[in-house]
Amino acid sequence: MSEEDPGRDTYPDADRAAVRDEPAPSARVPLDRERIVAAALDFIDANGLPGLTMRRLGEQLGVEAMALYRYVPSKEELLDAVVESLVAQIRDDEVVLDSPRDGWQDFLQRLAHGVRRVALAHPKAFPLVASRPAEAPWLRPPLRSLDVVETFLSGLLEEGFSDEAAIDGYRAYTSFLLGHLLLEVAVHGADVGPLDVLDDQTGEPGLAAYPIVARLRGPLSEDRSAIEFEEALEALLDRMTVARSAHLAE
């Protein structure tokens, strides 16, 4: 490792490989858009979003940054492609359904857990789902692709929801998912702006003036994310049931 750049060996170096008469990584595995996007997601998972640059990604792939632009014209397009890959993982989840089979509650529960699985598998990349432009400006993250939203709405309409109730359900459902999951990935080290206050802090605050907080510090610090997710999802589905029932009674 070079003393001048102690972090250099973090990424494969194509130039040094050539000097050592070794094939560059890109010579061993052909470079393409899919491989670049997968490498970008791996980089974000390991290092966080702020550190991602085309140069560093090129080093990870063993090529010059300019070689990437043939497949991904800009970093902005690369980030959009990372989001597309995350949404594709949701669609490809074997538990997520294309249409209701055992009722709309089961349909939405499966989708919610599919989104959560992706968020927890890629917590540092998941905030991109909220921050990158959607396919249409009126779509709401994390259900931000036309394909996913079409599936969501058609599933509810098949189950007796009116147009208005299905739209209201979409708004409530996306707000629930985004709010809960951004809080959860922040705990797992995601950079979500103001939500960073949830990250672990060095040292302990003085609690002498706050006896109730001090007494309840143990349960307050428990990780109940999974339980809270289930309870909030059930409450949301209950509200949607009332809206659906009101429509059917008309």
Q: Mean pLDDT in the chain?
A: 83
Q: What tokens appear for 114 in the block?
A: 């599919």
Cβ contacts of residue 95 below 8 Å, gap of 6+? 110, 113, 114
- The pLDDT value given to residue 23: 52
pLDDT tens digit sequence for 89-142: 999 999 999 999 999 999 999 999 999 999 999 999 999 999 998 888 888 899
Decide: 199 and 191 in contact? Cβ < 8 Å: no
Decide: 175 and 165 in contact? Cβ < 8 Å: no
- The pLDDT value given to residue 250: 78
Say what angle helices 54-61 and 75-92 make with each other, to 10 degrees.
60
Distance, in Å, from the CA atom of 93 to the CA atom of 19, rounded to the nearest integer, reads 44
pLDDT tens digit sequence for 158-181: 999 988 888 989 999 999 999 999
The closest of 112, 141, 140 to 128, measured between CA atoms, is: 141
pLDDT tens digit sequence for 179-193: 999 999 998 888 876
Decide: 173 and 108 in contact? Cβ < 8 Å: yes
Alpha carbon 28 to its chain's center? 30
pLDDT tens digit sequence for 130-155: 999 888 888 889 998 888 999 999 89
| Segments in 48-135 forming alpha helices (H) | 54-61, 65-68, 75-92, 104-121, 127-131
- pTM score, two decimals? 0.76
Q: Which domains does the chain have, with CATH numbers?
A: 8-73 (1.10.10.60), 94-249 (1.10.357.10)
